[in-house]
Amino acid sequence: MGRRLALLIATYEHEDAGLRQLTAPGHDAEALGDTLRDAEIAGFEVTTLVNEPHYVVGRAIGELCRDRRREDLVLLYFTGHGLKDDAGRLHLATVDTRRDNLAFTSLPADLVDRALSDCVSRQQVLILDCCYGGAFPAGGLTKADEDETHALERFRGRGRTVLTAADATQFSFESDGALRGGTARSVFTHHLVNGLREGTADLDGDGDITLDELYEYVHDKVVDEMPQQRPKRQDNVEGRIVIARNVRWTLPAHVRDALESPITSARLGAVDALAHLLRIGNPVVRARAVQELERLAADDSRMVSAAATRALPVARVPEEPPVAVADEPSVAQELAPDEPLVPEETVADAVPDAVAAPVPDAVAAPVAPDSAGVESIEGAWKDTIGGAVCAPLVVENGTLYVAGSDGHLSAYDAASGARRWRYTTGHPVQNPPVVLNGLVYVAARGTTIALDAVTGEVAWRHEGQARPVGAVAALAPWVFAVNGINLRCFYAADGHEKWRRTFGVSDLRWAVVVGDKLWCGNSGRHVYVTDAATGKKGFRLALRDSSSSARAVAEDGLFLHIAGGKDGDLYCVDAVTGQERWHFVTLSPVRCSPVVAGPLVYAGDAVGNLYAVETATGTVRWRVSVGTPLNASPAVAYGAVYVGGMDATVHVFDAATGERLGGVPTDGPVQTVPVVRNGLVHAGNDAGEILTFPVPGAGG
């Protein structure tokens, strides 16, 4: 996913007394900048220059176009005087422009064109709110000199769309102030801003405002108000450019009326309309369409109900209350007696050395609570630690590692529950430890610590900047630690620092190794790629919104998720190029990492939906409603999916179909990924409980 960058240039004062002072540009740039910057509407990174000399503006245009990527969206907006020289070449006037020396005191159009042509981005938008000759009408002031200039001819480039406020023989008008509530504004930019901010430029009602829609909307509005002025467009772009979201989108009135109609045929018409919105709409529109279709699926009319069910993107699974596993058939009962077990393979919300093991074939009844300490009942055991279990559990070489919010890292015999050692870090541990070559690595509030895996004794430690969240990853012979905006590489054996890099302005939150590259992401919306051996920076991704946990990794791809904002998204990104392979929209933000298991990737969202999506195509295989927010990644194997919920239950579903198989109650909300290894399921909760139970029939 690319960045969205906008540079707005406005000039209304001039040192050359022959250039008339304008009123609208300052107001225009401010209004447009506020609109484009609004994360709910457009989410651009906006830079605004007002009354700056030509060399400052030229440098800013160069920065806008430099070091861009193909998927970036670049927008350049200019409002002010358009001038031409004796040879008919267009120049954009700045504060220091002199009409007798345009070549060296203005922005020549061919230089702007050259900068845009050299820009790698294949989504470029140039908006010129200035005019190029014509008559001076009553009721408006013109923004141009008196000669004709052909703007569109100067800005032809692949991947570029040019919008101008007027054609080559017309003026672009400033209002006289009375038209805009006392504030002088350009007619063109006024409707441009209004169409984006009010959502009225969303002409097809799909929730997105494309550049084509925006131009059509502004053109009609300007011509209605000022028939003498006709905006123009020129483009050389493949596909559509989404410039903004319609934040005021509501279900169309005719659809709302049909939904409430007592007439069956009218409600059937609503099904068709909702199916259309489901096909063309953005995440907000699709979510509302799904909501209404699910309501119609329960309609009294079997005809309406059947049509709505067919229109839904996935089969509806009736919600059911949590049921104890003893009342449900086990996974093992679902398999034929001679059916072989699936080999153990899954990827969990952790770095590669902290991979969850496969889930066995059945769920045992939970161990009865026992506050006296570890209790072992026929292979099951439980214990309590001093704080909430807030990091993914890790099992390696028969040892279970548990990190708590009280700052302790504990090591247990995974089979018996006997505690082997406990180390006090002094700070909460929010990301999983990593086990490599006999050492356990953990990050806690800026400190990176290496412990002996058998004894728990400190092998080495490094102090860093005290930040709330730290994380580690490993690729022999190195260990990587994120701390604040710093990424550090240590030799795993002795802690000697190999290299250090800094990224952005937001704290890094996670790190994961993919091949020979290290991927890390911050609390904002950026993901960075670094060569693991040298620390050389690679490409950068800019997500639509923030995310803060480790990513799921396949052999050649990385699965990203969106944790912030109001919408949910899963992305499959090529691990080598960083190019997006597919994008799947969920119904709510995904708060934790997806999990890859064979041909499917699994994820849960903030309102309790659990998804199974095909890793190759991003097509949803199934979706079920768990009935509680899912703030933890699932564990997947042997045909079952285990996921912890805020209702203090570990829920179990069939991995192929999404059928509910049962649930194991605990003493508190489960907000960390379960881990399954050697026939045992391990889970932790916010009450500080570690719950371990066997899976009958799974074997060793």
Write down the pLDDT at residue 184.
52
Q: Which has the higher per-residue pLDDT, 366 or 458?
A: 458
Q: Which of the following CATH numbers is that of domain 4-245: 3.30.830.10, 3.40.50.280, 3.40.50.1460, 3.30.70.260?
A: 3.40.50.1460
- Least confident among 148-157, 324-333, 537-546: 324-333
Q: Please compute, for residue 350, the number of CA atoms within 13 A of its CA located in the half-sphere on the CB side.
A: 31
**DSSP 8-state secondary structure symbol assigned to residue 179:** G
What are 669-681's pLDDT values in tens digits?
Answer: 998 888 888 888 8
Write down the pLDDT at residue 554.
60
Write down the pLDDT at residue 185.
58
For residue 693, the surrounding DSSP H or E stretch is strand 689-694
> Among 360, 384, 399, which Cα is nearest to 655's?
360
Write down the pLDDT at residue 447.
87
In sequence order, what E strands does 151-219 have? Answer: 160-164, 173-174, 208-210
Q: Is residue 105 predicted with pLDDT exceeding 90? A: yes
CB 547 within 8 A of CB 521: yes
**DSSP 8-state secondary structure symbol assigned to residue 237:** -
pTM of the model: 0.49
What are 609-646's pLDDT values in tens digits?
Answer: 999 999 888 899 999 999 898 988 898 877 889 999 99
Mean pLDDT of 348-365: 32
Write down the pLDDT at residue 149.
40
Mean pLDDT of 378-391: 80
CA dist list (Å): 259 to 254, 280, 299, 313: 9, 20, 10, 19
Tokens 């659809």: give the residue.
Answer: 255
Q: Do domains 4-245 and 325-694 have the same CATH topology?
A: no
Q: Which has the higher per-residue pLDDT, 302 or 354?
A: 302
Task: Write out the two tokens for 675.
Answer: 């881990």
Write down the pLDDT at residue 342.
31
**CATH fold of 325-694, please?**
Methylamine Dehydrogenase; Chain H (2.130.10)
Task: Write out the two tokens for 395.
Answer: 């099992």
Mean pLDDT of 455-476: 83
Query: What amino acid occupies position 421?
Result: W
- Least confident among 446-455, 517-526, 546-555: 546-555
Q: Which residue ranges make up each domain of the chain?
A: 4-245, 256-311, 325-694
What are 142-156's pLDDT values in tens digits?
Answer: 344 433 344 444 444
399, 402, 403, 404 alpha-carbon torsion, rounded to 10°: -150
Give dist(CA 586, CA 620) in Å, integer: 10
What are 570-587's pLDDT values in tens digits?
Answer: 878 777 777 778 888 888
Instruction: Return the HEC string of 497-522.
Output: EEEEEECCCCCEEEEEEECCEEEEEE
Q: Is residue 695 predicted with pLDDT exceeding 80? A: no
Helices (H), 126-210: 187-197
Burial class (CB in 10 A: 0-12, 13-18, 19+), 457: exposed
For 162, other C-beta atoms within 10 Å of its C-beta total 23
How would you classify the pairing of strands 552-553 and 434-436? unpaired
366: preceding bond cis by omega (within 30 degrees): no
Phi, psi of 215 (to 5 degrees): -65, -45
- Residues in Cβ contact with 406 at an 8 Å cutoff, skipping those fewer than 6 apart: 385, 386, 387, 428, 688
The DSSP code sequence of 650-676 is EEEEETTT--EEEEEE-SS---S--EE
Tokens 């006289």: give the residue.
Answer: 176
Burial class (CB in 10 A: 0-12, 13-18, 19+), 545: middle
> Among 585, 691, 658, which Cα is nearest to 280's?
585
- Residue 5 pLDDT class (50, 70, 90 cuts): very high
Mean pLDDT of the chain: 77
Q: Is residue 61 predicted with pLDDT exceeding 60? A: yes
What are 180-226's pLDDT values in tens digits?
Answer: 444 455 888 999 999 999 999 998 888 999 888 898 898 888 888 87
Give dist(CA 418, CA 308) in Å, integer: 54
For residue 37, the surrounding DSSP H or E stretch is helix 24-37
Phi, psi of 378 (to 5 degrees): 50, 50
Give dist(CA 551, CA 520) in Å, integer: 9
- Residues in Cβ contact with 30 at an 8 Å cutoff, skipping those fewer than 6 apart: 48
Task: Write out the two tokens for 685.
Answer: 């909760």
Q: Is residue 349 predicted with pLDDT exceeding 90? A: no
